[in-house]
Structure 1
Amino acid sequence: MSVPKIKHIRASVVRGGGGDYHDVEDGHWIDDHIATPMARYPEYRQSRRSFGINVLGTLVVEVEADDGTKGFAITTAGEIGAFIVEKHLARFIEGRPVTDIERAWDQMYFSTQYYGRRGIVVNAISAVDLALWDLLGKWREEPVHALLGGPVRDELVFYATGARPDLAKQLGFIGGKLPLQHGPAEGEEGLKQNLAKLEDMRNRVGDDFWLMYDCWMSLDLNYATRLAHKAHEFGLKWIEECLSPDDYWGYAELRRNIPRGMLVTTGEHEATRWGFRMLLEMGCCDIIQPDVNWCGGITELIKISALADAHGALMVPHGSGPYSYHFCCTRHNSPFNEIIMSAPKADRVLPAFHPLLVNEPVPENGRLKLSALDKPGFGVELNPACTLHRPYTH
């Protein structure tokens, strides 16, 4: 069979949800007094949008082969990412066979290493990589999970991240992860309010439902350690992303100091095999949480997952909808998944990238049958009602 070559790559941006799930309207739980590194400044404490968490918007990367087959993917990188794709990365994609994904990743990463290595650059690389996997699956008329070796289970099970774990339990999820609302700058009163919220939710959901706290890089080692010990009374399953992603030493110390049986998790804002090697070799956490839209795409997630498996750690990706579903169903060390409750009141299950994708599968009663993923590529399409803007060409 003749292998088609990639004719063109395009990078566009879109506003209003999708890849940038913080691009929301007023009144959304995801923007309501959540602890952040910027909460040390009172003027940026109430709203995460106030310090610009939503400024980037969504990057959409589309690739088209010379036989007419198309693939696409999304991430959070906006116009800056579009510039990088169009002006730099395109040269490593166009004219190449649709099967040359590993070489494309290697060239994209090492050509940008002097100004990249993580952040927006690796976000952009992730979107290109995912679009290439989508294209390959559509050309072969196979789902991405089949390209990765096939599923090892018949369904995925989920926990929900949102402000209402009690509602998540009613919706059938195995657990609920709360956003921590008060950081160190709010003192002892803030700590008491964090614990009171946890106690209230434990009383609502009972003893057998998982409860976790997402601290979103907002704490210091002392505060995180105190929070963990006090939260142990209420059966906290894990404490997530407490410290700066660069503080590997702090994470290792935290893991040594927390109550026995509680887990430390992190990695949402880490990238590439080298970043996760640091977390794993230094004993920083029990579960790594790469976001496949940010960490380097599927090509890099394969390597990250293998590292975790060799270290006896679980890999439970951050959000990322169908992009992580297709991967996790093929790996034994990814036994459950996260879905971020994108409904403003966290009271109903919406697609992870609402409203940008069409046919995006969603869990029902906290589970997703693998049959929902049996479509070519990642099995989703762009919503034609969402307006794309292509700010650069090449």
Structure 2
Amino acid sequence: MSMPTIREVRAYTVRGGGADYHDQGEDHWIDGQIATPMGKYPEYRPHRRNFGLNVLGTLVVEVEATDGTVGFGVTTAGELGAWIVENHLARFIEGTRASDVEKLWDQMFNATLFYGRKGIVLNVISGVDLAMWDLLGKLRDEPVHQLLGGPVRDELSFYATGARPDLARDMGFLGGKMPLVHGPAEGDDGMERNLAHLAKMREAVGSDFWLMWDCWMSLDVSYATRLAQRAREFDLKWIEEALPPDDYWGYAELRRNVPTGMWVNTGEHEATRWGFRMLLEMECCDVIQPDVGWCGGITELLKISALADAHGRYVIPHGSSVYSYHFVVTRHNSPFSEFLMMAPKADRVVPMFSPLLLDEPVPENGRMSVSQLDRPGFGVRLNPDCELARPFTH
């Protein structure tokens, strides 16, 4: 059949959950006291919202083909991202054949080099790219995982990220990743409290359950090294995103000095094949963790994954729900997935991007059958009860 072209692209914003999962109400674990790069300032320690973690909000990108079929993607970019879509990227998107995802990605990236390369611009390109893959799957009546070559396993297995790994164990997850609470500015007392909490969790979950720390860019090499070495007795599986994302040299040093068998993971806030090339060639980490909504979308994630495979490294995407599940199930070097526990107390399994997405699958007993991903495109719908705003038009 002839391939439709894109008739119109539309960019919307929405507040409260969704792709910007930090945009939560009060008393949610994800915005509580967690070590951050702003932890050096006492006034910004109690809540991550204090320094503006939730300011962007969710960006929804819709691409409508000439036959009326609509694909959509979501990311963290808010009104800034909507402006970029409507005022800059629309010229490349509209009129493009719905199957020309590679050409479109290249045009969007090169056209924004003078103010992009990483950060919010790559978030926006990712959102457009996800919308294009969703549209292509719908036009071909296939799930995205089939467009990527098909599943290499029958089910996905998950670890849980949240404040209660002890509860995650009871829910069937293979491991629990906890936010580190205290950073270097809190000195030895903070270090001891971090270790005491790890010891408490290890006692609660037993010896056969993974425990990991998410440090969210908050440490320096010295602190991270001491923390990892002292965590050895509690069998910490990995230490994640311990340093600022541009400190490739620090990551390489940290990886050389952590206890044997402990992984150093990072990449959540890295973007494009060139950023991940630095991490891989400088031997900064054992596992890379690109977010498909931030690193450049599915089109770029395929290149990042191939690069990692050539270096013998795992690719375990950060969060991103169905947008990463369809990818992970097709890659041999992506053996498991992350699931963000978005219940406020991390005490039950709820859809990660709720309430924005409908039909969003969730793991049961820490697993998900591929059959749950068999609807066309990414297999999810926008919730009509969510109030989308289109702040700009073109």
Q: Give, in whole Å, the separation in 2 of the partners of 1:97 and 1:370.
A: 29
After superposition, residues 178-327 of structure 1 pair within 5 angstroms as 178-327=178-327
**Structure 1: runs of 5 or more not aligned:** none
Q: Give, in whole Å, the separation in 1 of the partners of 2:104 and 2:314.
A: 28
Q: Give, in whole Å, the separation in 2 of the partners of 1:156 and 1:136.
A: 23
Q: Give, in whole Å, the separation in 2 of the partners of 1:76 and 1:38.
A: 20
Superposition deviation, residue 2 in structure 1 = 1.2
- 1:164-190 CA-to-partner distances (Å, cap 9, x unmatched) read 000000000000000000000000000
Superposition deviation, residue 274 in structure 1 = 0.2
Q: Give, in whole Å, the separation in 1 of the partners of 2:306 and 2:111.
A: 25
Q: Give, in whole Å, the separation in 2 of the partners of 1:85 and 1:361.
A: 28
SS of 2:361 mapped into structure 1: coil
| Corresponding letter in the other structure for 1:47 | H
Superposition deviation, residue 3 in structure 1 = 1.0
Aligned-pair identity in percent equals 72
Q: Residue 167 of structure 2 corresponds to which residue in structure 1? A: 167
Q: Residue 81 of structure 2 corresponds to which residue in structure 1? A: 81
- 1:300-343 CA-to-partner distances (Å, cap 9, x unmatched) read 00000000000000000000000000000000000000011000
| Corresponding letter in the other structure for 2:3 | V
SS of 2:304 mapped into structure 1: helix
Q: Residue 121 of structure 2 corresponds to which residue in structure 1? A: 121
| Corresponding letter in the other structure for 1:181 | V
SS of 1:327 mapped into structure 2: helix
| Corresponding letter in the other structure for 1:110 | N
After superposition, residues 144-163 of structure 1 pair within 5 angstroms as 144-163=144-163
- 1:139-172 CA-to-partner distances (Å, cap 9, x unmatched) read 0000000000000000000000000000000000
Q: Give, in whole Å, the separation in 2 of the partners of 1:331 and 1:2.
A: 30
SS of 1:216 mapped into structure 2: coil
Q: Residue 49 of structure 2 corresponds to which residue in structure 1? A: 49
SS of 1:88 mapped into structure 2: helix
Q: Give, in whole Å, the separation in 2 of the partners of 1:162 and 1:45.
A: 18
Q: Residue 330 of structure 2 corresponds to which residue in structure 1? A: 330
- 1:14-66 CA-to-partner distances (Å, cap 9, x unmatched) read 00000111101111111111000000000000100000000000000000000
Q: Residue 348 of structure 2 corresponds to which residue in structure 1? A: 348
Q: Residue 367 of structure 1 corresponds to which residue in structure 2? A: 367
Q: Residue 39 of structure 1 corresponds to which residue in structure 2? A: 39
Q: Give, in whole Å, the separation in 1 of the partners of 2:354 and 2:234.
A: 33
Q: Residue 14 of structure 2 corresponds to which residue in structure 1? A: 14
* Runs of 4+ with deviation above 4 angstroms: none
Superposition deviation, residue 297 in structure 1 = 0.1
Superposition deviation, residue 96 in structure 1 = 1.2
SS of 2:323 mapped into structure 1: helix
- 1:110-129 CA-to-partner distances (Å, cap 9, x unmatched) read 00000000100000000000
| Corresponding letter in the other structure for 2:20 | D
Q: Give, in whole Å, the separation in 2 of the partners of 1:319 and 1:3.
A: 32
| Corresponding letter in the other structure for 2:14 | V
Q: Give, in whole Å, the separation in 2 of the partners of 1:276 and 1:98.
A: 28
Q: Give, in whole Å, the separation in 1 of the partners of 2:39 and 2:73.
A: 33
| Corresponding letter in the other structure for 2:77 | A
| Corresponding letter in the other structure for 1:124 | V
Q: Give, in whole Å, the separation in 2 of the partners of 1:320 and 1:173.
A: 17
Q: Give, in whole Å, the separation in 1 of the partners of 2:139 and 2:244.
A: 41
| Corresponding letter in the other structure for 1:274 | W
- 1:214-268 CA-to-partner distances (Å, cap 9, x unmatched) read 0000000000000000001100000000000000000000000000000000000
Q: Give, in whole Å, the separation in 1 of the partners of 2:357 and 2:393.
A: 24
Q: Residue 134 of structure 1 corresponds to which residue in structure 2? A: 134
- 1:173-217 CA-to-partner distances (Å, cap 9, x unmatched) read 000000000000000000000000000000000000000000000
| Corresponding letter in the other structure for 2:357 | L
- 1:52-94 CA-to-partner distances (Å, cap 9, x unmatched) read 0000000000000000111001000000000000000011110
Q: Give, in whole Å, the separation in 2 of the partners of 1:321 and 1:154.
A: 18
TM-score, length of structure 1 as denominator length: 1.00
| Corresponding letter in the other structure for 1:319 | G
**Structure 2: runs of 5 or more not aligned:** none
